[in-house]
C-alpha cells in the first residue's frame, strides 16, 4: 500500500516566467511518470514582506510560516535557484534561514540551478550542497544545472539535461519507494547533535 509522494519545490528566482521554475517542473514531471505525487510549489519572490521583513521565525506571516512548515514536512524537497553573483539568490537563502535546523535531516533534497552560462555549473556543488549539508539532508547525488543557452525562453532544448534528470530521478527510486510505502508520520531517529523528536521522515 503506497501513498502519494509529498513533494515541495522551492524556486529562488525573482522572474516570471522562470527558467529555474521550468527546470523544476521537468523534474516533477519525471517523478510523476514513475509514481503518484502531490506537488506544492513555493516561489520565494511572491512571498512578499511576510518573508522579506522577517528577522526571526516568529516575524514570518502565517502564510510564509505555512510554506516553511510544508518544506519541513515534505517527503522530497526540490530546491532550485538561479545563480546570482556566483551563488543562490538572497531570498532563497533567507527562506531557508527559517527552516528548522534538524527538519531536513535524512530528507531527500534535489538540487537545481540555472545560470547565464556553463561557467557557474558548480554552484550546485560549491554553494547548494554545503547549505543542505548543514541541514544533514540526503542531497541527491546528481544535481541538475542548465544555462540560458540551453533554453528557448522556458523550453529546455538540451537533450543531455533531460537525460540527467532521468538519471537523478532513477537514482532515488528506491528511496521514493520506501518513503511512499512508509506511514507519513514516521520520525527520523535522533542522533548526536539532533535533539529527541526533531527531524523528518525516516528513510532507513
Ligand X SMILES: Cc1cc2nc3c(=O)[nH]c(=O)nc-3n(C[C@H](O)[C@H](O)[C@H](O)COP(=O)(O)O)c2cc1C
- Residue choice 1, 85, 155, 160 for contact with ligand X (CB under 6 A): 85
Given CA atoms 143, 115, 78, 161 in this order, what sign does their dihedral have?
Answer: negative
Whole-angstrom Cα distance, residue 44 to residue 126?
A: 22
Please work out the total of residues on this chain that contact ligand X, with binding judged by CB under 6 A: 17
Would you give the distance in Å from CA 154 to the centre of its chain?
19
- Cell (9 digits) for 143: 544535481
- Name residues contacting ligand X, limited to 8-37 (CB under 6 A): 13, 15, 18-21
CB nearer to ligand X: pick between 25 and 72: 25
For residue 187, state whether it binds ligand X (rule: CB under 6 A): no
For residue 82, state whether it binds ligand X (rule: CB under 6 A): yes
CB nearer to ligand X: pick between 36 and 118: 118
- Cell (9 digits) for 103: 527538519
- Name residues contacting ligand X, limited to 42-71 (CB under 6 A): none
- Residue choice 46, 53, 66, 86 for contact with ligand X (CB under 6 A): 86
For residue 161, state whether it binds ligand X (rule: CB under 6 A): no
- Name residues contacting ligand X, limited to 111-140 (CB under 6 A): 114-117, 120
SS (H, E, C) 24-66: HHHHHHHHHCCCCEEEEEEEHHHCCHHHHCCCCHHHCCHHHHH
Shortest spacing between CB 106 and ligand X, in angstroms: 28
Candidates 53-61, 71-79, 80-88, 156-164: pick the segment binding ligand X (CB under 6 A): 80-88
CA distance readout (Å), 66 to 18, 72, 101: 23, 10, 16
Shortest spacing between CB 130 and ligand X, in angstroms: 17
Query: What three-state secondary structure class fits 126?
Result: helix
Amino acid at each position: 500500500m503506497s501513498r502519494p509522494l509529498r513533494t515541495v519545490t522551492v524556486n529562488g528566482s525573482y522572474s516570471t516566467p522562470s527558467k529555474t521554475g521550468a527546470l523544476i517542473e521537468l523534474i516533477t514531471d519525471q517523478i510523476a511518470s514513475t509514481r503518484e505525487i502531490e506537488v506544492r510549489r513555493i516561489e520565494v519572490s511572491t512571498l512578499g514582506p511576510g518573508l522579506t521583513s522577517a528577522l526571526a521565525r516568529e516575524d514570518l506571516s502565517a502564510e510564509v510560516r505555512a510554506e516553511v512548515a510544508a518544506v519541513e514536512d515534505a517527503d522530497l524537497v526540490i530546491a532550485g535557484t538561479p545563480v546570482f553573483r556566483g551563488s543562490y539568490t538572497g531570498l532563497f537563502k533567507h527562506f531557508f534561514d527559517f527552516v528548522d535546523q534538524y527538519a531536513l535531516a535524512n530528507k531527500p533534497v534535489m538540487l537545481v540551478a540555472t545560470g547565464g552560462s556553463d561557467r557557474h555549473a558548480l554552484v550546485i556543488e560549491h554553494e547548494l550542497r554545503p547549505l543542505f549539508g548543514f541541514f544533514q539532508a540526503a542531497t541527491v547525488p546528481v544535481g541538475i544545472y542548465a544555462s540560458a543557452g540551453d533554453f528557448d525562453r522556458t523550453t529546455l532544448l538540451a537533450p543531455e539535461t533531460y537525460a540527467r534528470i532521468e538519471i537523478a530521478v532513477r537514482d532515488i527510486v528506491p528511496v521514493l519507494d520506501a518513503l511512499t510505502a512508509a506511514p507519513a508520520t514516521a520520525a527520523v531517529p535522533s542522533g548526536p547533535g539532533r535533539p529527541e523528536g526533531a527531524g523528518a521522515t525516516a528513510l532507513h
